[in-house]
Amino acid sequence: MALDPSLLNEIRTKMTAWDPKQRTAVEHALDHRLEVEKRAMSEDEVASLLRVHGDEPDTLLELIKLKAPEEFEVLCRMSQIGSQKVVYDARWKNGRPVVLKRFIEESVQAQGHLLERELQPHPLRMTHPHIIETHVFRNEDGEKFLVEKKLPDVLDDGWRAGGVAEASNLLFDIALALQYLHGRDLVHGDIKPDNLGFDEERYVLLDFGVCRKQAQFDAGATATGSLRTRAPELLIGSTGHGFASDVFALGAVVFNSLVGAFPLFNPGEDIPRVSTLEERREKENEISSRAKDAYGHYVTERLQAHVEHEGMRKLLSRMLAANPVERPTANEVVSKAHSALVAFIRTVGKHESISIEEQLSQLDAYLPEGDLKSVLSKRRLMALRSTLEGFRASELEGEREKEILAGLERRIGEESA
């Protein structure tokens, strides 16, 4: 399908500033896509790519060539996370904004491995109110993409709660997500403001690229996650990442939202995100020595000075305890927040997720009888398949539940390529 001639002209005008080789490559890619592959581009899509990447021929070339799942239009490239993942701002063709993640491992198998890791925490995909809604889509070549709901707001280091009320909501909502993950033996491993979003009056945990089973984080492994929210035991290297370090990281985010600095950092202190190995080591050593020698000054005193609400102060103090053994579990954080901060929390009474057993029982009772493939839309079938995969991954114990699950799996049949 051809594009509007004025848009094509606009592209060509932009191209005049480029190197001729780049221009030829982009023109060729565009023609190939539109005329040979017959993969259309909407005017919105082209306009967005031009606006964002008009001066980046290489990126434009990548995006023209990109075979996204047919249900989506890619609007721009957002970032590359490490060497494994590229993130795109995209739109479901129903108009809904999403984030599309592509895994750039060479083999489909390796891509699948990375994707499975991201999917680990979604045994009840799309059902937990504080975990990002996630789907898996394939493009025409069978390559899998992770599709996340695009949240209107994602926090950053400069985000401030503006008081104990909002901080309580952040703490409680994400503690619920952690309670859910930890209950499934999963450690998030990278809690930081950039991985927390806000949508429809609730905070949501994002990005499960590091998330894995507790046993898979061994003490000898390089510490993962952000230095800003890294727990003392990881800085010192006394133990590997665990549930307690997730709790610390959440405490650190809430601390930052109230105090204006992360627990072991000074206000406005430059925090290296991507730097040379030497710089990073130097910074790690510096923070590590603060954790050993000046913990009281950095954490306890500042909590005392900046957090007036006693319930919040006590809870944060425990979550940020230097010794991981002294920290509360996610369950305890939820429970403490519920009792000490309930007056501030919006989602009290609305947070309960439904047990897998109850969900299976409901699906067994209330889905139409017979072959579900013939009554469910493609999208619904995919969502159900995704939910059942999650149940399967959560290692059911009851015989009845296993039976129901197997029955449902039979009724939805094999996934088509």
Partner 1 sequence: MAVRGSVQRVQDAVHGLMEFRGLEASLIEVMSAKELQRLRRIRQLGLVHLVFPSAEHSRLVHSLGAAHVALRFARRLEHVSQDFLAFPLRPDEETRRDLALAALCHDLGHGPLSHVWEQEVVRNFDVPAWVEKLGLPSRPNWGEKKWHELVGQAILLNPETDIHRSLKGQEEDLPSRIAGMLRGAYHLEYLPALLSGDVDVDRCDYVLRDANAAGVQYGRYDLDWLISISTIGSRNDQLVVGFDERKAPRIIEQFLVARRALYDTVFWHRTARSAEGMVGVLLQRVGDLLREGSWVLADNSEFGVYRAALSGTPISVDQVLQLDDYSLWVLIMAIAERSDDPIAADLAKRIVSRDLFKSVPIEPKAIQDFTGRRGRAPLEELVADCCGVEDGAYYLVFDQREFETLSKDDANAVYLVGEAGDSPGEATLARDHHELEQLGAPHQLEPALYAPVEAIEKLVEVLRS
Phi/psi of residue 31, each to 5°?
A: -60, -45
- Which 8-state DSSP code applies to residue 300? I
The secondary structure of the chain in percent helix, strand, coil, rounded to multiples of 5, reads: 50, 10, 40
Q: Determine, following the binding rule CB under 8 A, whether residue 93 of this chain makes contact with partner 1.
A: yes
Residue from 71, 72, 70, 74 nearest 60 by CA? 74
Structure tokens at 10: 């606009």
Q: Which is nearer to partner 1, 222 or 377 (CB)?
A: 377
Phi/psi of residue 2, each to 5°?
A: -80, 155
Provide, rounded to whole angstroms, the least separation between the CB of residue 100 and partner 1: 16
Residues 6 or more apart whose Cβ sits within 8 Å of residue 380: none
Provide, rounded to whole angstroms, the least separation between the CB of residue 71 and partner 1: 11
Cα–Cα distance for residue pair 244/88, rounded to 1 Å: 32
Cα–Cα distance for residue pair 181/331, rounded to 1 Å: 11
Provide, rounded to whole angstroms, the least separation between the CB of residue 354 and partner 1: 6
Q: Which is nearer to partner 1, 1 or 305 (CB)?
A: 1
Phi/psi of residue 81, each to 5°?
A: -100, 110
Provide, rounded to whole angstroms, the least separation between the CB of residue 390 and partner 1: 10
Q: Which is nearer to partner 1, 4 or 55 (CB)?
A: 4
Provide, rounded to whole angstroms, the least separation between the CB of residue 35 and partner 1: 15
Between 387 and 416, how does the x/- string for binding to partner 1 read (CB under 8 A)? x-----------------------------
Q: Which is nearer to partner 1, 304 or 355 (CB)?
A: 355
Q: Which is nearer to partner 1, 326 or 371 (CB)?
A: 371
- Residues within window 23-42 making contact with partner 1, judged by CB under 8 A: 40-42
- Residues within window 318-377 making contact with partner 1, judged by CB under 8 A: 350, 352, 354-355, 358-360, 362-363, 365-368, 372, 375-377
Strand partners, 87: 79, 101
Tell me the site size for partner 1, rule CB under 8 A.
42
Burial bucket for residue 278 (CB in 10 Å: 0-12, 13-18, 19+)? exposed
Provide, rounded to whole angstroms, the least separation between the CB of residue 93 and partner 1: 7
Please report which residue ranges of 32-129 form alpha helices under DSSP H: 43-53, 57-65, 108-119
Confirm if 125 and 119 have CB atoms less than 8 A apart: yes
Provide, rounded to whole angstroms, the least separation between the CB of residue 68 and partner 1: 13
- Residues within window 248-307 making contact with partner 1, judged by CB under 8 A: none
AA letter at 189 = G
Sheet holding 85-92, edge to edge: 72-81, 85-92, 97-103, 144-149, 134-138
Virtual torsion, Cα 254, 246, 290, 157, nearest 10 deg: -40
**The only residue of 31, 44, 201, 310 in contact with partner 1, by rule CB under 8 A:** 44
* Buried b / exposed e along 377-391 (16+ C-beta atoms within 10 A): eeeebbebbbbbbbb
Q: Determine, following the binding rule CB under 8 A, whether residue 124 of this chain makes contact with partner 1.
A: yes
Q: Determine, following the binding rule CB under 8 A, whether residue 48 of this chain makes contact with partner 1.
A: no
The one segment of 89-97, 219-227, 259-267, 312-320 that binds partner 1 by CB under 8 A: 89-97
Between 54 and 73, how does the x/- string for binding to partner 1 read (CB under 8 A)? -------------------x
Q: Which is nearer to partner 1, 103 or 137 (CB)?
A: 137
Provide, rounded to whole angstroms, the least separation between the CB of residue 235 and partner 1: 39
Provide, rounded to whole angstroms, the least separation between the CB of residue 348 and partner 1: 12
**The only residue of 126, 165, 210, 348 in contact with partner 1, by rule CB under 8 A:** 126
Q: Which is nearer to partner 1, 4 or 301 (CB)?
A: 4
Q: What is the largest CA-CA distance in the chain?
A: 67
Binding interface with partner 1 (CB under 8 A): 1, 40-45, 73, 91-96, 124-127, 129, 350, 352, 354-355, 358-360, 362-363, 365-368, 372, 375-380, 383-384, 387
